[in-house]
Amino acid sequence: MGRPKNIARGGAIKDASLEYWSGIAEAVKKKAVSFGLGPVEIAEPRSSTYEKYAKWVADGMHGEMGYLARDDRMERRKDLSVILPGVQSVLVCGLLYWPGRSAFLEKATSMQGDVSCYAWGTDYHTILGDRLRDLALWMHEEAGGTGKWYVDTGAILERSLAEQSGLGFIGKNTMLINPRYGSGMFLGEILTTLPLPASPPKKMPGCGKCTKCQVACPTDAFDDEYVLDARKCISYLTIELKGEIPVDLRPKMGRKVYGCDICQEVCPWNKFDWDGDMKGTSPLFGKVAKDVRTPDLERLIRMTESEFKEWFAGTAAIRIGRDRLRRNAAVALGNSRDPQAIPVLKDAINDNSELVRSHSRWALDHLLSQLRTTTS
């Protein structure tokens, strides 16, 4: 039987001094850089925000993401030793993806959709997962012990652990914000039985009185500071929600077809452009396909299953399937205010998919209403 894909095993753990394990921790961080990871910090294996998370779930703010509320997963989030017996430390690893301020200067046309920048390139689960695997295997072969690594797939309160490790602070938009790199950073974790000392505490800034993310959110998804109601979030509506998008939220979604960057675009911590050296740290820089970043909405809503698979192969968008993406395209066409969308939507109301048909009917009515208002 082969080794499970996210488990790394070495020999017995050496009974050594704090100085020895501090040296191992520094060696691991240096190795992480050589494997193409961004900043790496170490946290103790316990979350300080579990009770807050449990209340968020109890309030139903997770929407249809039932996996976030499952009893077995709640138990794991509360106690990481359920995932990895004997866990002593957690490596929290970042991978930068924010493309910089100038990447958002070119706006999509009325007949183009808008895809969140994290999905412009190769699926981060693959890239970050491979690098975490390499680091975990090296680390445990060198120092012994056992580890598990995760990229979004484990029941881990990763932003809480990242904040505890000193990788950043939690902003009012609920994103982890690194004072140097901003919030455009994927997070991955390696749970390990190695007694690596936690990174020393760092004094972090914060959001202060800034409320730009709350003000800019079109759907008012931030009911309170530091609290996101996923049921109103455009990323949730376009990605996680499998069925009908609430009618009252559709006009507020603009031409977003996969995810949303608004709360990050307006964040002062992201108002920068990378220098030449930093561009090499992200797997997305220089690999952006324009037809993925700003897809043609007519082509999107008419695409066949084979065209969908070819178009979005290897990207994060592939996981939501063709019809959800076409559903999103229908809403975007309805918000386009472009007469060119009328014949496209008239065709789509006869689509084989009820999900596409229902959203196209709404979109056509909404579009015609907007155009009548404009010309009256």
pLDDT at 3 over 90: no
Look at residue 199 and tell me if it is in a domain.
no
Report pLDDT for 16: 83
For the chain, the three-class secondary structure string (H helix, E strand, C coil) is: CCCCCCEEECCCCCCCCHHHHHHHHHHHHHHHHHCCCCCEEEECCCCCCHHHHHHHHHCCCCCCCHHHCCHHHHHHHHCHHHCCCCCCEEEEEEEECCCCHHHHCCCCCCCECEECHHHCCCCHHHHHHHHHHHHHHHHHHHHCCEEEEECCCCCCCHHHHHHHHCCCEECCCCCEEECCCECCEEEEEEEECCCCCCCCCCCCCCCCCCCHHHHHCCCCCCCECCECCHHHCHHHHHHHCCCCCCCCCHHHHCCEEECCCHHHHCCHHHCCCCCCCHHHHCCCCCCCCHHHHCCEHHHHHHCCHHHHHHHCCCCHHHHHCHHHHHHHHHHHHHCCCCCCHHHHHHHHCCCCCHHHHHHHHHHHHHHHHHHHHHHC
Q: Are 12 and 132 in a shared domain?
A: yes
Number of independent structural domains in the chain: 2
95: Cβ contacts below 8 Å, ≥ 6 apart: 36, 37, 38, 124, 127, 128, 131, 185, 186, 187, 188, 282, 283
* pLDDT confidence band for 280 (50 / 70 / 90): very low
Look at residue 107 and tell me if it is in a domain.
no
Mean pLDDT of the region 189-199: 97
Look at residue 239 and tell me if it is in a domain.
yes
Mean pLDDT of the region 212-238: 95
> Domain range for residue 297?
212-375
Which residues are paired to 192 by β-bridges? 89, 147
Q: Are 237 and 187 in a shared domain?
A: no
Prediction pTM value: 0.93
Locate 328 and state its tokens: 């999103």
Q: Are 148 and 225 in a shared domain?
A: no
Q: Are 273 and 165 in a shared domain?
A: no
Report pLDDT for 272: 81
- The pLDDT tens digits for 50-109 are 999 999 999 999 999 999 999 999 999 999 999 999 999 999 999 988 888 888 887 889
Q: Are 138 and 216 in a shared domain?
A: no
Residue 86 to residue 267: CA distance in whole angstroms: 39
Q: Which class for 65: exposed (0-12), middle (13-18), buried (19 or more C-beta within 10 A)?
A: middle
Tell which of 142, 160, 192 closes a domain: 192
Q: Are 188 and 234 in a shared domain?
A: no
Q: Are 158 and 291 in a shared domain?
A: no
Residue 7 to residue 220: CA distance in whole angstroms: 40
Q: Are 188 and 226 in a shared domain?
A: no
Nearest CA among 132, 127, 33 for reference residue 91: 132
Beta strands at 114-115 and 146-150: parallel, antiparallel or unpaired: unpaired
Report pLDDT for 51: 94
Q: Are 180 and 53 in a shared domain?
A: yes
Catalytic residues: 152
* pLDDT confidence band for 154 (50 / 70 / 90): confident
pLDDT at 279 over 60: no
Residue 76 to residue 157: CA distance in whole angstroms: 9
Share the mean pLDDT of the chain: 92
243: Cβ contacts below 8 Å, ≥ 6 apart: 64, 355
Tell which of 192, 225, 247 closes a domain: 192
Beta strands at 40-43 and 89-96: parallel, antiparallel or unpaired: antiparallel
Look at residue 207 and tell me if it is in a domain.
no
Nearest CA among 144, 137, 151, 265 for reference residue 195: 144
> What is the CATH classification number for the domain harbouring 64?
3.40.109
Report pLDDT for 2: 37
Look at residue 1 and tell me if it is in a domain.
no
Look at residue 166 and tell me if it is in a domain.
yes
71: Cβ contacts below 8 Å, ≥ 6 apart: none
Which residues are paired to 114 by β-bridges? 256
Whether the Cβ atoms of residue 132 and residue 186 lie closer than 8 Å to each other: no
pLDDT at 39 over 70: yes
Report pLDDT for 121: 84
Q: Are 57 and 176 in a shared domain?
A: yes
Look at residue 197 and tell me if it is in a domain.
no
- The pLDDT tens digits for 315-361 are 899 999 999 999 999 999 999 999 999 999 999 999 999 999 999 99
Look at residue 178 and tell me if it is in a domain.
yes
Q: Are 167 and 298 in a shared domain?
A: no
Q: Are 366 and 232 in a shared domain?
A: yes
Report pLDDT for 314: 87
Single-letter amino acid, residue 77:
R
